[in-house]
Amino acid sequence: MRNLKKVHKAEYRPMGDLETWSPMPTRNLQMIDPFIFLNHHGPQVYAPNNDGLPFGPHPHRGMETVTFIIDGDIAHKDSGGHYSVIESGGVQWMSAGSGLLHAEISSDEFKEKGGPLEILQLWVNLPKRLKMMAPEYRGLQKDQISVWENESKTVNAQVVSGSFKGIRGAFDTPTSVNLSLVHFDKGSEIQLEIPKADNIFFYVIRGKLEVNEIEVQELHLAEFSKNSEILNIVAKDDSILLLGHAEPFNEKVVFGGPFVMNSEEEIQQAYEDYKTGKMGSWN
């Protein structure tokens, strides 16, 4: 079985009245190549007549954002002309590539009525050869996403990208990143085979899982070695797992706020291109 190197607890980083947990990057864990950032918003309940999510227009370049709506909704708009409202159980995938502006706010209905909200946004790096690709966006509702489940229906996985036990993901992506959202009933068990060459992203959103005989509680991210292909997962409680794996890019990564590039010069150029309108305009 694959060894666990360390289990990292997410840091609490509230954004105004938006409760937010982030396991990466932190002082103890910068990234799990090519996975570079995760914010876990909620769970919390918004009252009626609320202001909703605070993520107004802002730019990105050089990476992808994958947004999982556990509860609530997101109204997405970007300078490429895309618009959607994705509801509970849905997923958004945006490849920022050469750059665009986007906003992720709550729908008018959610702001008026309120309700439960829990949303995760994962940033996935793009390799140098794709940093300046044309931006792309796609949002899918829950019923549009591929699902795998075991015979007893005690484990089911929303297969977002790549594949999971032979089921192909709903999103065709520019890289070979595998991402799934896995739901476990208490007492259920599953064995997975993940290529040794791949880095694993294993974040417990809710509940408590035992993976290769080590317990990982909710709001914790497990970091693995590469000694084996096997993961044995046992659910100690009803649980939700964000599971990813991919071959690392092994390239230099430079962060510059909303931009992720390979050099400081490229970050400076990104800011200049943003200021001069080369990432689009906002109406």
Q: What CATH topology corresponds to 4-250?
A: Jelly Rolls (2.60.120)
Determine phi and psi for 268, rounding to 5 degrees.
-60, -40
Q: Flag whether the pTM goes above 0.85.
A: yes
pLDDT of residue 283: 74
Residues of the chain with pLDDT under 50: none
- H helix runs in 82-163, sequence order: 108-113
pLDDT of residue 194: 97
At 242, list the tokens.
Answer: 């964000």
| Residue-averaged pLDDT of the chain | 97
pLDDT of residue 214: 96
Q: Given strand 214-217, what is the order of strands in its sheet? A: 189-193, 230-235, 208-211, 214-217
pLDDT tens-digit series, residues 185-203? 999 999 999 999 999 999 9
Dihedral sign for Cα 69, 28, 179, 79, please: positive
Euclidean distance between CA atoms 8 and 32, whole angstroms: 12
In angstroms, the first-to-last Cα distance of the chain is 53
pLDDT of residue 133: 97
Domain ranges in the chain? 4-250
